[in-house]
Structure 1
Amino acid sequence: MNLGITEVKKGMILKIDNELYSVVKTEFVNPGKGSAFIRTKLKNIVRDSSIERTFKAAEKLESVDLERRKMQYCYADGDQIIFMDVNDYEQIPVSKDYVEDILPFMKEETPVEVAFYNDKPIGVTPPNFAILEVTYAEDGLKGDTTGLALKRVTVETGGEVQVPIFIKQGDTVKIDLRDLSYVERVNK
């Protein structure tokens, strides 16, 4: 669908030079002299890189609608991850590149949202948090419970994360999957 520059909004998906971009920021500029234009910050969906681009008033942009499906993580198979559609139980392979950094924190049946363009998966949105049990942790120093000192622990899925030193083996922790950081200890 073709759009004029005044119709471009944050969150839209645009096809520019045969690549898909998510609109991160827009600024409409109407100078006293000359024609109006729009400054945008765009994020390449596939390569996860950002660009800034200016479009003139006369330009038409192509908007793209993505199909988003609720799926569950099943297992890793080589360089692909297998997800299952929760509606029809179809299993779909997706490139490991989309979840490589969070894969060590994903349990089987973790719910995700997979974006499709022309029936091809182009992105995976995991949940914001994972709640996992600590399977290995070295003992912390006695008396140091301020939470300022950190140590590395291993969680049940094999991932490693920095946590306060009062966390022990067997504790359950909440991890923010957006930046892979410790959030809090969770009571069972």
Structure 2
Amino acid sequence: MISTTDFKEGLIFENENGEIVEIVDYQHHRKSQARAVVRVKLRKLGSGSYVETSYRPEDKFKEVSVEKRPFMYLYSEGDMAHFMNNESYDQVAVPLDKLENQRKYLIENMECTGLYINDQLFDIVLPIKVVLTIKSTVPGVKGDTVSNLTKEAELETGVTIKVPLFINEGDKVIMDTRYCTYVERA
């Protein structure tokens, strides 16, 4: 059993509703006369959706045995994304609707991780930072660099993000896949 004192980012467990979740962020709060609580932001591994909740320090949760295997994204065809297990070279097809948030960062030959629970592929985890190419953006105007201004840019995968003015079409940028934000120029 896992208690709230064991919480850390990336921990995977079964919550009180029987859903398998991963801790994205957590904070321990205690007000002067009130009981302590642990506020947690969780990602549901089945759907990829996020939920915020609070737990008491005495709450216990069921531990989940997770095996991580290296995968490579190959291609998408119809409503399926095809991955290859880098150890056994087996190919696995995953429905695109199961990859809600991940699908907007997938590019061919991308290294990722497959999470297996009870020998069944449960989720695909992308690297935290990925390098993508700017497909289109408006040119930055010289003289607009006094303050920290941003502009919209479309990535090669079709996602629109905010980037600094000095980024141009064709530039490679590093993206944070957790928050869909620009990190730096590659």
TM-score (norm 2): 0.73
Tell me: CA distance 1:138–1:25, structure 2 relative to 1, closer, same or farther (3 Å): closer
Using the TM superposition, name which of 171-180 and 98-107 deviates more.
98-107
Q: How many pairs does the alignment contain?
A: 174
**In angstroms, what is the RMSD of aligned CA positions?**
3.3
Residue of structure 1 equivalent to 2:152: 152
Contact 1:172 1:185 in 2 (8 A): yes
Residue of structure 1 equivalent to 2:177: 177
Q: CA deviation at 1:90?
A: 1.0
Which protein shows a greater Rg? 1
Contact 1:153 1:163 in 2 (8 A): yes
Contact 1:74 1:82 in 2 (8 A): yes
Using the TM superposition, name which of 47-56 and 161-170 deviates more.
47-56
Tell me how far apart the structure 2 counterparts of residues 7 and 152 of structure 1 sit (CA, whole Å): 41
Q: Find the residue that maps to 2:50 and give its secondary structure.
A: coil
Tell me how far apart the structure 1 counterparts of residues 185 and 2 of structure 2 sit (CA, whole Å): 49
Q: Does 1:117 align with 2:117?
A: yes
Q: Among 38, 51, 54, which residue is 1:52 paired with?
A: 54
Q: CA deviation at 1:52?
A: 3.2
Q: Deviations over 1:27-64 (max 9, x none)?
A: 7xxxxxxxxxx96847343253343345868xx75322
Residue of structure 2 equivalent to 1:70: 70
Identity rate, percent? 26
Tell me: CA distance 1:4–1:137, structure 2 relative to 1, closer, same or farther (3 Å): closer
Contact 1:9 1:26 in 2 (8 A): no
Residue of structure 1 equivalent to 2:131: 131
Q: Deviations over 1:75-134 (max 9, x none)?
A: 223333221111111111223345333423321111111112223322222111121222
TM-score (norm 1): 0.72
Which stretches in structure 2 are left out of the alignment for 5+ residues? 29-36
Contact 1:162 1:182 in 2 (8 A): yes
Using the TM superposition, name which of 153-162 and 95-104 deviates more.
95-104
Tell me: CA distance 1:41–1:176, structure 2 relative to 1, closer, same or farther (3 Å): closer
Q: Find the residue that maps to 2:104 and give its secondary structure.
A: helix
